[in-house]
Amino acid sequence: MAGISARKLDKVYPGGVHAVDRLDLDIDDGEFFALLGPSGCGKTTLLRTIAGLEQATGGSVLIGGRDVTNVTPARRDVAMVFQDYALFPHMTVIDNISYPLRIKRQARVARHARATEIGVQLGLADLMDRRPAALSGGQQQRVALARAVACHPSLFLFDEPLSNLDARLRLEARTFLKRLQRELGVTTVFVTHDQAEALALADRIAVMEAGRIRQLGTPREVFGRPANTFVANFIGSTPMNLLDGVVRGSTVDVAGGSLPVPAGAEGLVTDGEKVIVGVRPEYVRLSRSGEGLAGEVSILEHLGTTTLVTVDCGDELVGATVPEEDEPEPGAAVRLAPVPGRLLLY
């Protein structure tokens, strides 16, 4: 088993694109770690540089404390699963799964025994003689996972391995992957642009933008306390409220009303300062007490057991997620109260 570290890791492509920008990172042994960010932010490049498939242009990569910056991929003891699975089309499932063992010169009987064992674990027992073209997307994805597991790597590197599955299967595969990683305890780096996937799977998440990490934390931290408006915008299945405000002593004028400056932020802002007030719709309640921001219900969006209520507060639209039984009527006059402690200033 192994942790991973990057030290001032840099990757500039020949064309001049700075895909990974002097990045520092420490991933713990056994951790399920997500690299999350929009397309083009450098996730794949970082993963491939960890794997040794791309040569760093600066800095270093350490696996299990060993500097592997100039070590070939084969000697890094990592298994990678790609978005398109990269199965060998002319090989059967059992040969695909046991291929890494063949590379390691294991005898056919031994490697087929191992492949069968994993195949059974991953629900592929009846498919061992098929070729990839005769498998569904979900089955192909499991074969790719089985192949990754086959040679007991000390590191799993996953590049959006669920993105080619349809929505339902994707949720099942997510749970399956999490369970597998828990059982095996193998350090895992999981690349995704899907914030919900990262929140659901990871022990910790690095949110990336333009080759850099904008925030690193647990799902609870990046969701509950996004460090900047980039992360605030990127994380969450409903958009975070980011409202223009002006500090007035111990309160902040916002959305035609006034809210207390959050505890902890008092010393950091000055009277008259312009700020952005951030609060997730999930942390905004409909107030019964006559306090909070006044507005008129404009749009209702049904999310299942909750409803996203968009309230027109004059200059600003403010979202609040409410239980379906508390859903107001469109056009109703309401007041919105952020949950104390959930208001953030940027």
153 binds, among Mg ion, ligand ADP, none (CB under 5 to 8 A by kind): none
| Nearest-approach distance from CB 71 to Mg ion, in angstroms | 23
Residue 68 Ramachandran class (φ > 0 left, ψ -120 to 50 alpha, else beta): alpha
| Nearest-approach distance from CB 90 to Mg ion, in angstroms | 27
Half-sphere exposure of 59 (CA within 13 A, CB side): 20
Nearer to ligand ADP, 82 or 346 (CB): 82
Burial class for 70, CB neighbours closer than 10 Å (0-12, 13-18, 19+): exposed
Instruction: Evaluate whether 189 touches 33 at the Cβ level (below 8 Å).
Output: yes
Q: CA-to-CA distance for 31 and 217, rounded, in angstroms?
A: 13
Interaction between residue 42 and ligand ADP (CB under 6 A): yes
Q: CA-to-CA distance for 320 and 307, rounded, in angstroms?
A: 8
| Nearest-approach distance from CB 335 to ligand ADP, in angstroms | 42
DSSP conformation class of 218 = -
Interaction between residue 115 and ligand ADP (CB under 6 A): no
| Nearest-approach distance from CB 107 to Mg ion, in angstroms | 37
Nearer to Mg ion, 34 or 284 (CB): 34
Interaction between residue 88 and ligand ADP (CB under 6 A): no
Considering only residues 19, 27, 78, 322, which one is a binding residue for ligand ADP as defined by CB under 6 A? 19
| Nearest-approach distance from CB 23 to Mg ion, in angstroms | 15
Nearer to ligand ADP, 230 or 283 (CB): 230
Instruction: Evaluate whether 9 touches 20 at the Cβ level (below 8 Å).
Output: yes
| Nearest-approach distance from CB 166 to Mg ion, in angstroms | 20
Tokens of residue 296, six digits: 């008129």
In angstroms, the Cα distances linking 65 to 6, 72, 186 are 11, 16, 16
Considering only residues 4, 41, 122, 173, which one is a binding residue for ligand ADP as defined by CB under 6 A? 41
Cβ neighbour number for residue 290 with a 10 Å cutoff: 7
Q: What's the count of helices (H) and strands (E) in the chain, helices before strands?
A: 8, 20
Nearer to ligand ADP, 15 or 272 (CB): 15
Interaction between residue 30 and ligand ADP (CB under 6 A): no
Considering only residues 10, 32, 43, 96, which one is a binding residue for ligand ADP as defined by CB under 6 A? 43
Q: Between residue 17 and residue 46, which ones bind Mg ion under the rule CB under 5 A?
A: 44
For ligand ADP, the binding residues (CB under 6 A) are: 13, 15, 17, 19, 37, 39-45
